[in-house]
Structure 1
Amino acid sequence: MKILVVFVVMVLFCDCVMTKECTNTPTQLSSHTYRYALLNSKNKTLKQEVLTLSSHDHDHLTPTDDSAWASLLPRKVLKQEDEFSWMMMYRQMKNNNGGSGKVRDSGSFLNEVFLGDVRLDSDSIHGQAQQTNLEYLMLLDGDNLVWSFRKTAGLPTPGVAYGGWESPNQELRGHFVGHYLSATAMMWASTGNDTLKKKMTAVVSALGECQEKMGTGYLSAFPSEFFDRFEAVQPVWAPYYTIHKIMAGLVDQYVFAGNDQALKMVTQMADYFYKRVQNVITKYTIERHWRSLNEETGGMNDVMYRLYTITGNANHLLLAHLFDKPCFLGLLAIKADELSGFHANTHIPIVVGAQRRYEVTGDPLYKEIGTFFMETVNSSHS
């Protein structure tokens, strides 16, 4: 009884919501705020019970054949005359140019204006906000940012690690560095500030030393053992969420700042994780991989599609596909409004990645997924 009371108090204190995964099974661990409080709790009994329960809440639809995909739509809703068209849509998805290794002709899309070609009026409210952001980025210390990366790589650790979720004892450590890489790359493109470029380039170089020291292509502020737990569907705090931020930051450093070292580093990371996912599927099954995706993975599909447009490496395209969480995107593909209760920070990036898949491959199904999601959110979930 005492444990139950403590649990209820913690949920209320954290202002958490109970969110669902693809099975619609509630899991309080979807909330980063709750998980942070739980992992820092001194109540070891509560911590063990909640984490143990959560490890069994990862049931997953496994669309490895036509019948599994067809069953995504409830039988009482699926009209018999619609069944054939759904099956045809699925087969088309499997066989269309989404898996051909060809990049879609982008002629039908709006052209994005490069940040380097835009300057804000320094006297405007937007220019003042940009200056505030620039000053904040300049305050951050490179040694402090990469402290946990160096620690993980076995390198000397000058400086002091930042706190909060970047603390050396937090499983999400390192994701802020990914945000930093993206923010500084875009800020440099927007301002041309030479001091900022030197600082962000030094951070990329320091991370490169960490990656080189580990020697496998792996790069993170936490050990690769976290992914052993992820692949075993054991409790771990969203390691791919952090990896996505780091990879996206490195891609941005290349795209917006022309840093070739960053591209080399993110490519090595992609190759490392391609082998990890390949090993899971080979050693176990594709279902095991799908099941693990009930843990938050950020926008891994999105960053891999972005990287593929740069490298043209078919392995990068395949890895992007393997992070297109099928049990969630499948619901959107058949236009089933089951969004209530899904953890937004987990699933919106997956939809963004699905839209990127359409832009890269031209697969019309993923345009439909993105369109239905936006229309549904705007009409009944906002």
Structure 2
Amino acid sequence: ILSVIGSVLSKECTNTPTQLSSHTFRYQLLKSQNETWKQEMFAHYHLIPTDDSAWSDLLPRKILRQEADELSWSMMYKKMKNPGSFKVGGDFLKEISLHDVRLDSDSIQGRAQETNLKYLLMLDVDNLVWSFRKTANLPTPGKPYGGWEAPDVELRGHFVGHYLSATAQMWASTHNDTLKEKMSAVVSALSACQKKMGTGYLSAFPSELFDRFEAIKPVWAPYYTIHKILAGLLDQYTFANDAQALDMTTWMVEYFYNRVQNVIRTHTVERHWLSLNEETGGMNDVLYRLFAITGNPKHLLLAHLFDKPCFLGLLAVQADDISGFHANTHIPIVIGSQMRYEVTGDPLY
């Protein structure tokens, strides 16, 4: 499918077909024993590829320009290491620290906070990290939670990322000692899993899911889950000053930096863009946040590579052509583009 915007010609940017974009439908499909139905539905998987060529000229640094070095990882890295002279613009609002805000316990907000706190304290550490330990071949006391966290669901582990973010922010808001002990125990348990695997990889599912992701084969949004884990660990550092969580984050990112590098070197950068038609959560956002902390150019480059240029390009040229895009896939990318501007000052964003 071709579309013309001004003088730009490109293939349509997309995500998985409408039904497969539904987590509930995807869950039912993957659970089904009807192989004919599965084959029929996945036959349309990634039917329409992305095409970064249409939007490459919009990238301010032109790191993906159509030249001899376009697919050279070393050249891309060199350009990102010397990113130019953009100035971070605008007087951004200053966020008030949660440590400096306390809610009236008798207010409706205070009662809601207390309810959330009780829920977070109710959850069991061993149950939360059960699938992580299973993946790392460690002993698995307790029992796994069900729903999206069930051991046979490919999205397992993302709730744990949400838990890390929620507890970090709740602790900053309450300084509850019991909560601090519990969330620190989760971080320590995950660290043990990461060290056992020894590569930097950390997830509740095996890395084989990323083999399928990179091969453009059916898989249920592995980077969506990785984003939640990264964001949770980074929140543990940001709100609770947990240095171990930051070390875990940077080790994870090094692992995925190498994976993306391998895809681009082995295939093309277009192959990487094509894989982004699967939902990747807010990978760009969390990587820009990490870069703001570390200043590591690898983190900036990887963040750029999770911007979806065929989609952000539509927004950049103010094309009224985004109806039908899966909101849960693309809104996080927009949020990440805002973080890109706040961190780098890129005028396009």
**Fold match by TM threshold 0.5:** yes
The 1-side partners of 2:223 and 2:17 are apart by 21
Kindly indicate whether the alpha-carbon contact (under 8 Å) linking 2:60 and 2:346 is maintained by their aligned counterparts in 1: no
Q: CA deviation at 1:291?
A: 0.3
Q: Could you say which residue in structure 2 is the equivalent of 1:222?
A: 205
Q: TM-score when scaled to structure 2?
A: 0.88
- Of 33, 36, 57, 1:42 maps to 33
1:150·1:210 contact (CA, 8 Å) conserved in 2? yes
State, as a whole percentage, how many aligned pairs show the same letter: 72
Q: Shift of residue 92 of structure 1?
A: 3.6
Structure 1: distance between partners of 2:86 and 2:128: 36
Contact 1:98 1:362 in 2 (8 A): no
Q: Are positions 1:69 and 2:25 aligned together?
A: no
2:314 to 327, 331, 342: 331
1:316 correspondence with 2:302: no
Corresponding residue SS for 2:263: helix
CA distance in 1, matches of 2:255, 2:92: 32
The answer to whether residue 109 in structure 2 is matched with residue 126 in structure 1 is: yes
Shift of 1:101: 7.9
1:26 positional shift: 3.8
Pairwise mapping of residues 44-193 of structure 1 onto structure 2 (< 5 A)?
44-54=35-45, 56-63=46-53, 68-69=54-55, 90=58, 92-94=60-62, 100=83, 105=88, 108-193=91-176
Equivalent runs, 1:213-362 vs 2, <5 Å: 213-362=196-345
Q: 2:179 aligns with which of 196, 216, 229?
A: 196
1:52 deviates by 3.1
Q: Following TM superposition, by how much is the alpha carbon of 1:152 offset from its aligned partner in structure 2, in angstroms?
A: 0.2
Distance in 2 of aligned mates of 1:218 and 1:26: 29
Question: Residues of 2 paired with 1:103 and 1:142: CA distance?
Answer: 45
Offset at 1:146?
0.2
Structure having the higher helix fraction is 1
Measured against aligned partners, the alpha-carbon deviations of 1:257-308 in whole angstroms (never above 9, x if no partner) come to: 0100000000000100000000000010000000000000000000000000
**Size of the alignment, in residue pairs?**
323
Answer with 246-255 or 108-117: which moved more.
Answer: 108-117
Give the superposed CA RMSD.
2.0
Is the 2:231–2:286 Cα contact (8 Å) retained in structure 1? yes
Q: Which whole-Å CA distance do the structure 2 matches of 1:104 and 1:192 have between them? A: 37
Flag structure 2 segments of 5+ consecutive residues without an equivalent. 1-11, 64-78
Give the AA of the match of 1:94: K
Matches of 1:113 and 1:62, distance apart in 2: 38
Question: Deviation at 1:93?
Answer: 4.6
Evaluate the alpha carbon distance shift between residue 102 and residue 175 of structure 1 in structure 2; reply closer, same or farther with a 3 A threshold: farther
SS in structure 1 of the partner of residue 50 of structure 2: coil
SS in 1 for 2:140: coil
Q: Give the deviation of 1:45 after TM superposition.
A: 1.5
Q: Distance in 2 between matches of 1:91 and 1:181?
A: 34
Q: Alignment partner for residue 32 of structure 1, among 19, 23, 29?
A: 23
Paired residue type of 1:339: I
Q: Give the distance between the partners of 2:137 and 2:80, measured in 1 at CA.
A: 44
Unaligned ranges ≥5, structure 1: 1-20, 71-86, 367-382
- In the alignment, the residues of structure 1 paired with residue 24 and residue 178 of structure 2 have an alpha-carbon distance, to the nearest angstrom, of 35
Instruction: Report the TM-score, using the length of structure 1 for normalisation.
Output: 0.81
